[in-house]
Amino acid sequence: MFGRILRIGVIVLLLLIITAIAWADYTVGHTTQKQLYWDVNAIPKNKVGLLLGTAKYQDKARRKTNPYYQNRIDATVALYMAGKIDYIIVSGDSTAFYNEPALMKEDLVAHGIPAEHIYMDVAGFRTLDSILRCRDIFGLDKFTIISQPFHNERALYICNHKQITAIAFNAGNGNSFWDQIFREKMARVRMMYDLLFNTQAKYYGERIQIL
């Protein structure tokens, strides 16, 4: 008897998990489509673009560049050169040995973007942190997000929940089926939890004024 109840309990739990994943995935994708842009000529202009960070190297030993990273850099350069953004916040993870924003800034400057038009957010440990710090540290309630489509959808959903006016430019995808399908679906469920319980960024700090 106990074994049967346990099996039923496990089945119900799995169904609840699957339902939560499917609901979060559909809701995020469905509610943000009108805010996504692929065409640099079609996207409206915003003063600031928020470039969300990711690891530069897919294989550090071979120094093989991560296509997600490179495509985000290329997309940001395209927006800036087209006059669709004037300033860029590069937001990502950083430690004493690794600094995503510094690497992104270095590559953007190498592509001709003036260093004084790039601001670093070294405490963008998660997408939620990057969005909240863009609002609360840099004082922005309107900006353009730059990342891959699946990531942009989640970032936009956070913005919409936080009453931030945002649009997003889709960079080209990478080559990881895991990131686009499995990892992202789990991230969307966690995001819903964070929004429900009003999770805050890990670090805040002094305000930074963008000229």
Tens of pLDDT along 7-25? 777 788 888 888 888 888 9
Give every CB contact of residue 37 below 8 A, 6+ residues apart in sequence. Answer: 43, 167, 168, 169, 170
Identify the three-state secondary structure at position 27: helix
pLDDT of residue 183: 87
Backbone angles phi, psi at 61, to 5 degrees: -60, -40
- C-alpha neighbours within 13 Å on the C-beta side of residue 3: 0
- Please determine, for residue 178, whether its predicted confidence score (pLDDT) is greater than 70: no
Beta-carbon neighbour count of residue 91 at 10 Å?
29
What global pTM score does this model have? 0.92
Q: What percent of the chain has pLDDT over 70?
A: 95
Q: What percent of the chain has pLDDT over 90?
A: 75
Q: What confidence tier does 37 reach under pLDDT thresholds 50, 70, 90?
A: very high
Q: What confidence tier does 127 reach under pLDDT thresholds 50, 70, 90?
A: very high
Contact predicate 147/155, CB 8 Å = yes
Beta-carbon neighbour count of residue 40 at 10 Å?
14
pLDDT of residue 60: 63
**CATH ID of 2-196, from 3.40.630.10, 1.10.730.10, 3.30.465.10, 3.40.50.620:** 3.40.50.620
Q: What is the mean pLDDT of residues 199-208?
A: 95
- The residue among 182, 179, 124, 190 whose CA lies nearest residue 157 is 190
